[in-house]
Structure 1
Amino acid sequence: MSEARFPGPFEIETPPGAEGWQELYGYSAVFSEDRREYEDSMFWFHDGVHWPTVLTPWDATFFEYAIATLSQYNTRHYLIPPALGIDARIVNGYGYLSPVGVTDPAEIEARVPHFLERAGHYFSNWDDLYDKWLVKMRALVGEMESIRFEALPEKEELEVITEGHGTGAGLTLMTSYHKVVDLGFKLWQYHFEFLNLGYAAYLDFFGFCKQAFPSIPDLAIAKMVAGVEVDLFRPDDELKKLARLAVELGLDDAFADADRPDVLEERLRGSDEGRRWLAAWGEAAEPWFNFSTGSGFYHSDRIWIEHRDIPFGFIRDYAAKLREGADLARPLEEIRAERDRIVSEYSELLASDEDRAAFAEKIGLARVVFPYVENHNFYVEHWAHSILWRKMRQLGRVLVKEGFCEAEDDVFYFKRNEIPDALWDMYQAWAVGVTPRGPAYWPKEIERRRGIVAALEQWSPPPALGTPPETITEPFTIMLWGITTESVAGWLSAGETGDTGELTGMAASPGVVEGPARVIFSPAQINEVQDGEVLVAPLTAPSWAPIFGKIGATVTDVGGMMSHAAIVCREYGLPAVTGTAFGTKRIKTGQRIRVDGNTGTVTVLD
């Protein structure tokens, strides 16, 4: 494989109309001649699991925060023996990653006692520390909610004088933005406090199984930790409860107006039953419907609580299923029975009681930590990010009022560190009583940037850059992103095998299903999915769970065994093949396909 390679980072050309795109991102986030020797020597892959599309300048904030804080915990907190951090670059607006390993065996060995001491403390006190994490997270969310962006006043309120505040609205505006940025950074520190350890415990169990049972399929190991109760499924559970209540109260006919949420709510307010239902909606909506239709990393992702037509549509569909007598519950009993059967069978294969005790201990730890591997996703990428996007739009409205931009979402075309300069310009001119430069400068610049982003969106990012290693062994890369020695070989030979009727990927969730394909590329197309179809998408988001009652199976282009798509499908008892790389390119809507989630193959039958 070392002979075959992808284009190097310095061989990538700028798409027409996107000249100067590098200026949209931080100077250290792009490839540069200053680090060319290092950057050319690394293997970079496109992170389509989290950042499938072009990043606007401000959206790149969470790309940078996420990868840096992940790395910090590997490298500086827990000293994970074989792994340093993950390096990140932006190429033509798309995010690329490169895991950095520890190559010196002596250094790996020296890190082991530190890792055992530090990780051991968390594993021994997991429940207590996790309870404290939930308290910290809710406090952080409260701080985020308390931030307010308001236009600078014509004059300060009299109380500012009579109460001797000694400060004014300009300071509040500036510090509020710094607070958004700092709390977002703090949020991502919290994100990785547990996550890397959750994966480490699972990978330790995974490694034990592979050693003890050399022919065990990856899927069998994943099934042993299935059947968990996690907060990530709570939004979908709340929708089902609201659908049941609508049916009980005889209100489900009203949901014919799901696409017109204001009309629907007005109708419900007209009866006692409707008001009772709306009260139940209000209790569920905060926090559970701060849920994004995408990965949560883009300001353009639609959030349920802000786009009520989305959850109302799901409630309408669930209510119709209930009327037909369907059972909406996840098949937890079957999943747990299968889990226990597999554990018992493999346990019996072990040679000694000592091995069985080690197996039981490792599986026990993997199950304790596993809920966090999914839960963090609701609290961070969905709930907290929803609030931060709303706060940024509030700031956008202030910028619009002062003429710095034309629409509130234009705020996301500023780089994170440019906004203090713009606010300073606004504040200083207000303080002096003159006109700021911003209204003459920023609208033109934002228009230019919008054109660059539109040009970048026409470009198709290669799956990787540089020369791949002989074998891919880095466990996170395999588990989360689904990037294996085989998948990289598939990317490299894509042109030669373009017309084959079979695709291979990760056997992510068991079962075999045949049905017509429904290929969708964005959450906006979810309502096109019909009963019994096989969903084929670049990736799926946790908030797509309500359509899992409709579809027969799932096929994704990206993602590994531990991607959210894989975990959610297992918990909903839905066959899935992830990381096919070319599913959305090779399969057309309406074609009959067979999805074999046991072997990781997808066959086009037409």
Structure 2
Amino acid sequence: MDNKFISPYDHHAPAGAENWKDLYPYYMVFQDNLKESENAKFFFCDSQHWPNVFKPFDAITVEFAVKCLSQYNTRQWLIPPANGIDFKIHNGYCYMSPVAVAPELIAERVPQFLERAGFYFQNWNDLLDNWHKKVKATIDEMEAVTFEPLPEVIPMDWVTGGVGLDPTYHLIHNYTKMIDLCYKTWMYHFEFLNLGYAAYLDFFGFCKEAFPGIPDLSIAKMVQGIDSELFRPDDELRKLAKRAVELGVADTLINHDLTAALAALAETEAGQQWIAAWEGAKYPWFNFTVGNGFYSTDKYWIEHLEIPFGYVQDYARKVLAGDSIDRPTEAIAAERERITEEYRDSLFDEEAQAAFDGKLGLARVVFPYVENHNFYIEHWAMSVFWRKMRDLANVLTGAGFFADPNDMFYFRREEIQNLLFDYGRGWAMGVPAIGPSYLPGEVARRKAIVDALSTAPPKPAFNEPPTVVTEPFTIMLWGITTESVQGWLTTAEVTNKLKGMAASPGTVEGVARVINNADELGLLQEGEILVTRITAPSWAPVFGKIRATVTDIGGMMSHAAIVCREYGLPAVTGTGSASTTIKTGDLIRVNGAQGEVTILQAA
């Protein structure tokens, strides 16, 4: 058995994508002159957050996210064992390499971390209230930005008002402002997140020491069942389905598409009441993406209302059939209290019990943010950001720069500045801009490269893995453990068994359905097992159909793991290659408590 993965320098792009590195900034790709130092690092594919090949513009999300995550670990909180995360794009996919703190430097960071993080922990609710205000103000600022085509002539009131500027100034300024606001949003994203993980990890470490042999899943259960705003969009859909049944209009919903249903409902008083409830749920809860907010192609419910409407129809059918559509919140809360009491009572020392209570109490206070931030940033804020970028793309398309607004996203964020200046330059001089004649060929070239890259799935990792994985965020968030990495290396040898994280308990058997993106969710049949690189929080409405979830990547604190626990579904995350090893139609067994997936019978 080989004990390491291929080097990125030996992993070549598929045919047709040979010049792919031109699409991304120089600092985001492996450089030949740094081969020796880069090959000394272990990189794993973060398909949990970025499962698809990046269009050049879309790489802004990994660039901002990882930089902002890193600065909090390294420069603000001084997390004792964890610095930032190095990352590269290779063959269009994102690869991460966590940067550990040298063991001899960890101790001196502890008092600094306790002082800095302690201030946030002690003032958590006040600071979090302020965070909500800051994020909402940023979203409002984004909403206020507009992009308009350049006028034939500057308005007369600009002349009489002595403005002294022209619309190209505002066009470029507004674009720059949107990029700045996006960057700001990602700084806010990580302001509390790493502390949420740190508090959980502190409790986790205490439990591992106090209760030798305690399963990771038992520790996770002690903080589960805490209300999260990330589940609110799905809860709104359930309420709408129940309301339709109460009002006697469920049949109208189920038997019509959205447009026809709304027209029919508007004819009756009961229907009008349901429409009012539908309209009330939209803002802000339909600012929710079927992806994860990291790609320009992600579809948001607010712009594709047929998506949430389809889920409401599914829920309404279940309610009419007499099935429960509620999350098992009471059972999960009862299990949380049972297991907490069991472990606490096994501590006979009052001091140990007080430490347990304190650490668990803090973890429960801060843990909801680990999921809640996701709604405000990835979903709501990025919904507005991508919409405004499409507004700009429409302006450039109207000016002849692109045949399709989506073509804009084949250009890097700094290149858009040049396109806007070219547009304004031609407008100012009264001559055609160069873009409309130059760009079609360049768009075609870049599209061909991205399409070619998309034909090859990413490698799970590069280079030699560490002998022992100790970096806590890597373990908790991505499920990268010593055992899981070795499992990735041996997957080819044992084809019917996959090992991953024991993410959510329960054992079930069923037929696998491999889903590569959100557009395929409609293929899921009742009682199937969802197998995918990673789930998105907005996939929750399909969890009523499936029996279990298996993902390629993700740890105990990944969104997939948390959501499955809250919905009472067995889950194994961090398998490395489930979505490429398992085929749709395979009969598989998922053991969520042991983190094992077995292919019982091939399709």
User: Cα distance, 1:280 vs. partner?
Assistant: 1.7
Q: Deviations over 1:392-421 (max 9, x none)?
A: 110110111111111111111110100111
Q: Deviations over 1:234-275 (max 9, x none)?
A: 0001101111121122222222356x4333333333333333
Contact 1:519–1:536 (Cα < 8 Å) also in 2: yes
Q: Which moved more, 1:340-349 or 1:7-16?
A: 7-16
Q: Which moved more, 1:579-588 or 1:121-130?
A: 579-588
Q: Which moved more, 1:326-335 or 1:72-81?
A: 326-335
Q: Which amino acid aligns with 2:352?
A: D
Q: Which amino acid aligns with 2:401?
A: F
Q: Where does residue 132 of structure 1 map in the other structure?
A: 130
Alpha-carbon distance in 1 for matches of 2:585, 2:418: 52
Q: Where does residue 294 of structure 1 map in the other structure?
A: 291
Q: Secondary structure at the match of 1:148?
A: coil
Q: Which amino acid aligns with 2:553?
A: V
List runs of 5+ in structure 1 lacking aligned partners.
none
Residue of structure 2 aligned with 1:273, choices 270, 283, 289? 270
Q: Which amino acid aligns with 2:524?
A: V
Q: Secondary structure at the match of 2:313?
A: helix
Q: Where does residue 379 of structure 1 map in the other structure?
A: 376
Alpha-carbon distance in 1 for matches of 2:446, 2:167: 30
User: Cα distance, 1:104 vs. partner?
Assistant: 4.3
Q: Secondary structure at the match of 1:508?
A: strand
Alpha-carbon distance in 2 for matches of 1:586, 1:239: 34
Percent identity of the aligned residues?
56
Runs of 4+ in 1 over 4 A off after TM superposition: none
Q: Which amino acid aligns with 2:560?
A: A
Q: Secondary structure at the match of 1:480?
A: helix
User: Cα distance, 1:571 vs. partner?
Assistant: 0.7
Alpha-carbon distance in 2 for matches of 1:408, 1:578: 36
Contact 1:59–1:297 (Cα < 8 Å) also in 2: yes
Q: Which amino acid aligns with 2:499?
A: T
Q: Which amino acid aligns with 1:55?
A: F
Q: Where does residue 155 of structure 1 map in the other structure?
A: 153
Residue of structure 1 aligned with 2:457, choices 460, 474, 483? 460
Q: Deviations over 1:486-517 (max 9, x none)?
A: 1111121222222x2x3221111112222222
Alpha-carbon distance in 2 for matches of 1:575, 1:457: 30
Q: Which amino acid aligns with 1:198?
A: G
Q: Where does residue 364 of structure 2 map in the other structure?
A: 367
Q: Secondary structure at the match of 1:288?
A: coil
Q: Where does residue 51 of structure 1 map in the other structure?
A: 50
* 1:401 has 2:418 as partner: no
User: Cα distance, 1:306 vs. partner?
Assistant: 1.2
Residue of structure 2 aligned with 1:565, choices 560, 563, 569? 560
Alpha-carbon distance in 2 for matches of 1:272, 1:160: 50
Q: Where does residue 20 of structure 2 map in the other structure?
A: 21
Q: How does 1:19-418 map to 2 (within 5 A)?
A: 19-105=18-104, 107-256=105-254, 260-418=257-415
Q: Where does residue 589 of structure 1 map in the other structure?
A: 584
Q: Where does residue 448 of structure 1 map in the other structure?
A: 445
Contact 1:74–1:80 (Cα < 8 Å) also in 2: yes
Q: Deviations over 1:100-147 (max 9, x none)?
A: 111141x22221111111000000011111111111111111111111
User: Cα distance, 1:203 vs. partner?
Assistant: 0.5
Alpha-carbon distance in 2 for matches of 1:408, 1:270: 38
Please report the RMSD computed on the Cα atoms of aligned residues, expressed in angstroms.
Answer: 1.5
Q: Secondary structure at the match of 1:547?
A: helix
Q: Which moved more, 1:162-171 or 1:408-417?
A: 162-171
Q: TM-score, normalised by structure 2?
A: 0.97
Q: Deviations over 1:20-54 (max 9, x none)?
A: 11111011111102433321211111101001110
Alpha-carbon distance in 2 for matches of 1:6, 1:373: 32
Alpha-carbon distance in 2 for matches of 1:220, 1:288: 32
Q: Which amino acid aligns with 2:82?
A: A
Q: Which amino acid aligns with 1:85?
A: G
Contact 1:156–1:169 (Cα < 8 Å) also in 2: yes
Q: Which amino acid aligns with 1:521?
A: N
Alpha-carbon distance in 2 for matches of 1:476, 1:296: 22
Q: Which moved more, 1:448-457 or 1:32-41?
A: 32-41
Alpha-carbon distance in 2 for matches of 1:23, 1:519: 32
Q: Secondary structure at the match of 2:401?
A: coil
Contact 1:429–1:436 (Cα < 8 Å) also in 2: yes
Q: Where does residue 434 of structure 1 map in the other structure?
A: 431
Contact 2:487–2:498 (Cα < 8 Å) also in 1: no
Contact 2:460–2:577 (Cα < 8 Å) also in 1: no
Contact 1:231–1:378 (Cα < 8 Å) also in 2: yes
Q: Which amino acid aligns with 2:14?
A: P
Q: Secondary structure at the match of 1:219?
A: helix
Q: Secondary structure at the match of 1:605?
A: strand
User: Cα distance, 1:377 vs. partner?
Assistant: 0.7
Alpha-carbon distance in 2 for matches of 1:442, 1:591: 46
Contact 1:536–1:554 (Cα < 8 Å) also in 2: yes
User: Cα distance, 1:220 vs. partner?
Assistant: 0.1
Q: Which amino acid aligns with 2:224?
A: A
Contact 2:224–2:566 (Cα < 8 Å) also in 1: yes
Q: Which amino acid aligns with 1:289?
A: F
Contact 1:227–1:571 (Cα < 8 Å) also in 2: yes
Q: Which amino acid aligns with 2:430?
A: G
Residue of structure 1 aligned with 2:596, choices 593, 596, 601? 601
Contact 1:198–1:366 (Cα < 8 Å) also in 2: yes
Q: Which moved more, 1:596-605 or 1:174-183?
A: 596-605
Alpha-carbon distance in 2 for matches of 1:118, 1:422: 44
Q: How many residues align?
A: 601
Alpha-carbon distance in 1 for matches of 2:268, 2:143: 32
Q: Which moved more, 1:280-289 or 1:87-96?
A: 280-289
Q: Which moved more, 1:574-583 or 1:48-57?
A: 574-583
List runs of 5+ in structure 2 lacking aligned partners.
none
Q: Deviations over 1:450-469 (max 9, x none)?
A: 00000101122211111111
Alpha-carbon distance in 1 for matches of 2:246, 2:335: 34
Q: Where does residue 485 of structure 1 map in the other structure?
A: 482
Q: Where does residue 521 of structure 1 map in the other structure?
A: 516
Alpha-carbon distance in 1 for matches of 2:418, 2:260: 43
Q: Which moved more, 1:580-589 or 1:12-21?
A: 580-589
* 1:472 has 2:469 as partner: yes
Alpha-carbon distance in 2 for matches of 1:194, 1:575: 29
User: Cα distance, 1:526 vs. partner?
Assistant: 1.3
User: Could you say if the C-alpha distance between residues 462 and 509 of structure 1 is closer, same or farther in structure 2, counting changes exceeding 3 Å?
Assistant: same
Q: TM-score, normalised by structure 1?
A: 0.97
Q: Which moved more, 1:391-400 or 1:571-580?
A: 571-580
User: Could you say if the C-alpha distance between residues 9 and 605 of structure 1 is closer, same or farther in structure 2, counting changes exceeding 3 Å?
Assistant: closer
User: Cα distance, 1:164 vs. partner?
Assistant: 3.2
* 1:552 has 2:551 as partner: no
Contact 1:255–1:313 (Cα < 8 Å) also in 2: no
Q: Which amino acid aligns with 1:568?
A: V
Q: Secondary structure at the match of 2:301?
A: coil
Q: Deviations over 1:290-315 (max 9, x none)?
A: 11111221111211111112111100
Alpha-carbon distance in 2 for matches of 1:575, 1:495: 25
